[in-house]
Amino acid sequence: MSGLFQDDPPPADDPHPADGPPAPAGPGLFGTALPAAAAPYRVLARKYRPTSFNDMIGQEAMVRTLRNAFAAGRVAHAFMLTGVRGVGKTTTARIIARALNCIGPDGTGGPTVDPCGVCPNCTAILADRHPDVTELDAASNNGIDEVRAIIEAVRFRPMQARARVFILDEVHMLSKAAFNALLKTLEEPPPHVKFVFATTEIRKVPVTVLSRCQRFDLRRISVAELSAHFAAIAGKEGVAVASEALTLIARAADGSARDGLSLLDQAISQAEPGVPIGAAMVTDMLGLADRAAVFDLFEALMAGHPAEALAVTDRAHALGADLGVLLQDLLDLVHTLSRLRSVPALRDSAELPEAERTRGVALAERLSMATLGRAWQMLLKGIGEVEAAPDRRAAAEMVLIRLCHVAELPPPAELVRRLSEQPPAANGPALPPSGGGGARAIANGGTQAAALAAPGPRLAGFRDVVALVAERRDPILHGHLVHSVHLVRFAPPVIELRPEADAPRDLAARLAALLTDATSTRWTIALSAAAGEPTVADQGSAADAARRVAAAGHPLVRAILETFPGARIEAVRDARADAYGLTAAPVLGGAAEFNGPDFAPPDAEFVDNGFADGPPDDVEN
């Protein structure tokens, strides 16, 4: 019956009823003819919203399960639909509501997974005005009062449909009290009540609610499926869209059909009538860098050509591309190349775009996983820097410049392997077994020996005496023994010394008293005018210098220093050396004779100990 609110169902041949009331016809109130009202424009996402499971794309597993459930009469009383935005959760809920209440064109049908779309129940649910189908947005109606209203409504039988259906969108937004109030009703609802929940945050839904629902995970729709879907819709709209443009839209949609249709709507609005929509226009609309430009930029980075890389970014910036987005495109490309290198079978995938199929495969074959992994880490860190920087463009360019400087550098282990294959120079010293970007060489791969002598006065030499003084915590006497005393003769319990002018006059007496107390043996400290050997400090300096010369003369260390400009040898340590940098054999006489450690052979395994003073400015950690 045509009533005040125009409740008559739309004609059977109109699958998409108009959103508003029909335009008035005939003369107006004052006798003048009213102009024909233009039909309101319906965006593509609403115009082509699926009305049956046959129209849905990318959710075959869910559709198959629901078909089997309806066919066997095993329809659950509560459904939980989860997935990213725009994959069809609310659409699925409405189709389920129609499937439960469809009575067929002749009014005698029962629940069916293929609702007719023409019976009163189907048309009313499609128009969102059925009294027995309640759709609630839990994001704004998330309190216990709204749930109590649902619980109260559950008690009443349907007014005209077969089942009362409650659709709660974004159900994870319900409060804890609201969830608790719903539990009992959700567990044992009346036979005429069905619940359909939809959420994008399934982890925020209590387990007690999930356990009472049949869960369906709606997956992201693939780029290939979205591209085909958008191509079909563009054909129905009479718009020519290049396949590359559709791929760009599908990729930007990130698995969401609704987002993609909104972008397609925008692209159609921007195009001139009769002019095909190309990839360039979509790239400009989305603020993206052209895919070919991304490949050009990445190839320049991997070749270490900063001038070419910055030229690409200048062109992209002039066209309106956000360089932060450009870094994200590079990150996506690195991920794709890593997958192509790790899983060669992907190179024959039908979903692989043409650019990735040609240039991408060639890059994946040429670049190692170590190089791709380093680029990934630097880009990932760089994107964070761009987001925090006051000048996004400058920050992005600094990231790219750093990439240019390190992209061609092999990993340290690979560098050592390559250089170790070269024959060592004649009579050259062997390679220290470890070294980093700062070329820190550690003899024997060990740590420095303990600074003090082992507990107990085992005095085999003068350095043992010096160490005993340090152990007895007499820093002033210890300092003079290290820097101001020359050993002339060591013949326990007699020590003959030549002190320098800055040594205290009571040095001999203090040392004799300390040694006598420590060993319970009377010691004699004699002073002599003989030259004696260098001080302990001078011997340690001479030994350290000799170790540096030995390490620097090795061909592999020289190659590392040349490969990493600005690197230097910070220290060469010997595990056998004591706290004064000396090994067991003392350095006698005035000349510094190196009695350092035996270095490892050139083919020794490389151990990366990092940079001496942090990495150079152009090297990423």
3-state percent breakdown (helix, strand, coil) of the chain, nearest 5 = 45, 10, 45
pLDDT digits (tens, 9 = 90+) for 127-163: 888 999 988 888 888 888 888 998 988 888 988 888 8
Q: What is the pLDDT of residue 614?
A: 42
Q: Which residue has the higher pLDDT, 284 or 180?
A: 180
Handedness of CA 116, 117, 119, 121 (dihedral sign): positive
**Span 223-286: which CATH code?**
1.10.8.60
Q: Which burial class, exposed, middle or buried, applies to 133 when counting CB atoms under 10 A from its CB (0-12, 13-18, 19+)?
A: buried
Contact 430, 572 (CB under 8 A): no
Contact 131, 125 (CB under 8 A): no
Distance CA 7, CA 432 (A): 90
Handedness of CA 581, 586, 589, 592 (dihedral sign): negative
Write out the DSSP string of 94-120.
HHHHHHHH---TTS-----SS--S-SH
- Pick from 31-35, 302-306, 408-412: least confident: 31-35
Q: Which residue has the higher pLDDT, 452 or 232?
A: 232
Q: What is the pLDDT of residue 397?
A: 92
- For residue 372, is pLDDT > 80? yes
Q: What is the pLDDT of residue 612?
A: 38
Contact 603, 554 (CB under 8 A): no
Distance CA 577, CA 600 (A): 17
* CATH number assigned to the domain with residue range 44-217, chosen from the 4 options 2.60.120.10, 3.40.50.300, 2.40.50.140, 1.10.10.10: 3.40.50.300
Q: Which residue has the higher pLDDT, 582 or 601?
A: 582
pLDDT digits (tens, 9 = 90+) for 241-270: 988 889 888 888 888 889 889 999 888 888
Helix axes 475-483, 462-471, angle to 10 degrees: 160
pTM comes to: 0.53
Helix axes 257-270, 223-236, angle to 10 degrees: 40
Helix axes 369-388, 291-303, angle to 10 degrees: 110
Name the DSSP letter for residue 607. B
> How far out from the chain centre does Cα 492 lie?
67
Phi, psi torsion values for 63, nearest 5 degrees: -60, -40
- For residue 63, is pLDDT > 60? yes
Distance CA 559, CA 547 (A): 18
Q: By three-state DSSP, how is residue 282 classified?
A: helix
Q: What is the pLDDT of residue 6?
A: 42
Q: Which residues of 199-213 are buried (b: 16+ CB within 10 A; e: fewer)?
A: bbebeebeeebeebb
- For residue 421, is pLDDT > 80? no
Q: Cβ neighbours of residue 356 under 8 Å, at least 6 residues apart?
A: 336, 340
Q: What is the pLDDT of residue 524?
A: 87
Contact 284, 245 (CB under 8 A): no
- Average the pLDDT over 382-393 and give the result: 90
Q: Cβ neighbours of residue 491 under 8 Å, at least 6 residues apart?
A: none
Q: What is the pLDDT of residue 596?
A: 41
- For residue 448, is pLDDT > 80? no
Whole-number percent of the chain with pLDDT over 90: 10
Q: Which residues of 229-254 are buried (b: 16+ CB within 10 A; e: fewer)?
A: bbeebbeeeebebeebbbbbbbbbbe
Copy the structure tokens of residue 332: 């996506």
- For residue 290, is pLDDT > 70? no
- Fold equal for 44-217 and 298-406: no
Q: What is the pLDDT of residue 80?
A: 93
Contact 87, 222 (CB under 8 A): no
- For residue 300, is pLDDT > 70? yes
- Pick from 113-127, 407-421, 523-537: least confident: 407-421
Give the model's confidence band at 193: pLDDT under 50 very low, under 70 low, under 90 confident, else very high.
very high
Identify the bridge partners of residue 442 per DSSP, sorted by sequence position: 573
Write out the DSSP string of 347-396.
GG-TTS-HHIIIIIHHHHHHS-HHHHHHHHHHHHHHHHHHHHSS-HHHHH
Helix axes 369-388, 323-342, angle to 10 degrees: 160
Write out the DSSP string of 215-271.
EEEPPPPPHHHHHHHHHHHHHHTT--B-HHHHHHHHHHHTT-HHHHHHHHHHHHHHS
**What are the domain boundaries of the chain?**
44-217, 223-286, 298-406, 409-621
Name the DSSP letter for residue 304. T
Q: Which residue has the higher pLDDT, 138 or 611?
A: 138
Give the model's confidence band at 288: pLDDT under 50 very low, under 70 low, under 90 confident, else very high.
low
What is the CATH architecture assignment of 298-406?
A: Up-down Bundle (1.20)
Q: Which residue has the higher pLDDT, 233 or 427?
A: 233
- For residue 404, is pLDDT > 70? yes
Phi, psi torsion values for 193, nearest 5 degrees: -120, 135
In a 13 Å sphere around the CA of 137, the CA atoms on its Cβ side amount to 2
Q: What angle do CA 343, 348, 351 make, to 5 degrees?
A: 95
Whole-number percent of the chain with pLDDT over 70: 78
- For residue 591, is pLDDT > 60? no
pLDDT digits (tens, 9 = 90+) for 545-563: 888 888 888 888 888 887 7
Contact 461, 490 (CB under 8 A): yes
Q: Which regions of 34-187 does DSSP assign to beta strands (E)?
A: 78-82, 133-137, 164-169
- Pick from 13-27, 143-157, 274-288, 331-345: least confident: 13-27
Q: What is the pLDDT of residue 35?
A: 57
Q: Which regions of 409-479 does DSSP assign to beta strands (E)?
A: 441-443
Copy the structure tokens of residue 583: 């090994």
Distance CA 21, CA 4 (A): 11
Q: What is the pLDDT of residue 419?
A: 65
